Amino acid sequence: MNPFLDVPADSGFGLHNLPYGVFSHGDGGARVGVRLGDYVVDLAALETHGLVAAAGAGRAPVFSQPALNAFMALGPDAWSAVRERLQDLLSDSGDPALREGGAVREAAVLPLADVTMHLPARIGDYTDFYSSRQHATNVGTMFRGPENALKPNWLHLPVGYHGRASSVVVSGTDVVRPSGQTRPDDDAPPTFGPSKRLDIELELGFFVGPGNELGDPISISDADRHIFGFVLVNDWSARDIQKWEYVPLGPFLGKSFATSVSPWVVPYEALAPFRVDGEPQDATAGNPEPLPYLRQRGPRALDVDLEVRLQTSSMDEGGEVVAQTTARNLYWSPEQQLAHHTVNGCNARPGDLMASGTISGEDPGSYGSLLEMTWSGKNPLSLPGGETRTFLEDGDRVTITGEARRDGVAVGFGEVTGRVLPPRP
């Protein structure tokens, strides 16, 4: 089955993917679309013309809304039905109203370059985990030494903290350098000023679909039915502010100034061919077996390739690749993250964002943060033109991309990008 539009055979945005996003075009309001190649198909227009529907009898249309929350809330049966309908409708044997042109096609098929993308959901809550073993080991080694790199709880539960939903922004939004308290000299009082150790964190995030009632946990066996889809995440971090503030209650101002997400939400179902075995969580790998509520059957990891580019203000468009890694480096899966998050009865809601934490591999070229790439600033990155970086400077742009490919099937995530602006006076 081929798409009715001209989409290259190796495109990560073919009929197998069909990621959802929220866009606006011209004077029209924000609404829901899917990406097909370099086009956006307006689902609100298709809904209006009776070509696709997700709402049941008596329910309001879901695709004419400026966020995906209503669609997310419908659950996996509705998601699968819409996905199957779209794959048929957008194929070269689909509805003539789209294939042969006319008013419907003109209204519903828009060049990607002509639209503005928005946050895909109203994010009520945002949680950031710490699920990459190599990242946790690197950070622990830097600050506590190799003999105490992982805290005793790390191999028993997905460590996480509650982030700030109000400062989650869509890709392309500039990030103002944050100011706060730091203590560069342990023998002197703290000072106030702009962060000098501004960093990135390469992460993979997911949006919650149907939530759970307060007091009613989501089981590990049912967690997949509560995950709508995935996005790329850059959790910008002010390391110097974080270092001074985080004891004893963890990250606060060093994290809450900005978190960037990619605009296209890759459906959970689209990633089924890319589920692979992760690191064994049992004695075969010298790891403790998780408690029963975290034991997950089947493949846990996602075979998604990830890349970080850094572009300074003096570089050409595109910049320089500074890291390449894979989501296979996550020890704790999205399902385990969600099951742990709700095991105490915490209620998740449609549109809640949960991110993996920094994803790092075993060598410096696969580290997902500058903190690790430069080993806390001790080993500066060498860039073209003689430039170096330990942490980000004003004018720097960071772009994270992601893609999965296997057995002729490709799924693209697009990109999440952001540029650092000077601190506000």
At position 298, the amino acid (one-letter code) is G
Contacts with 268 (C-beta within 8 Å, 6 or more apart), sequence order: 76, 79, 206, 224, 227, 228, 229, 230
**Beta strand extents in 185-336 (DSSP E only):** 191-194, 198-199, 202-208, 227-234, 237-238, 259-261, 266-267, 275-276, 301-302, 305-311, 320-326
156 is catalytic: no
Residue pair 315/384 in contact by the 8 Å Cβ criterion: yes
CB contact burial 51-78 (16+ within 10 A = b; e otherwise) = bbbbeeeeeebbbbbbbbbbbbbbebeb
Cα angle: 29, vertex 30, 31; to 5 degrees: 115
- CA distance linking residue 221 with residue 214, whole number of Å: 19
Token pair for residue 367? 């580290």
CA pair distance 2, 9, nearest whole angstrom: 9
Q: What is the end-to-end Cα distance of the chain in Å, rounded?
A: 56
Note the Cα 45 to chain centre separation in Å: 27
Q: CA-CA distance, 173 to 169, in Å (whole number)?
A: 6
Rounded Cα distance, 39 and 107, in Å: 12
Cβ neighbors of 158 (< 8 A, separation 6 or more) are: 129, 130, 131, 294, 332, 336, 337, 340, 341
Given a contact cutoff of 8 angstroms between Cβ atoms, the answer to whether 60 and 112 are in contact is: no
Q: Which of 16, 135, 226, 340 is an active site residue?
A: 135
Catalytic residues: 135
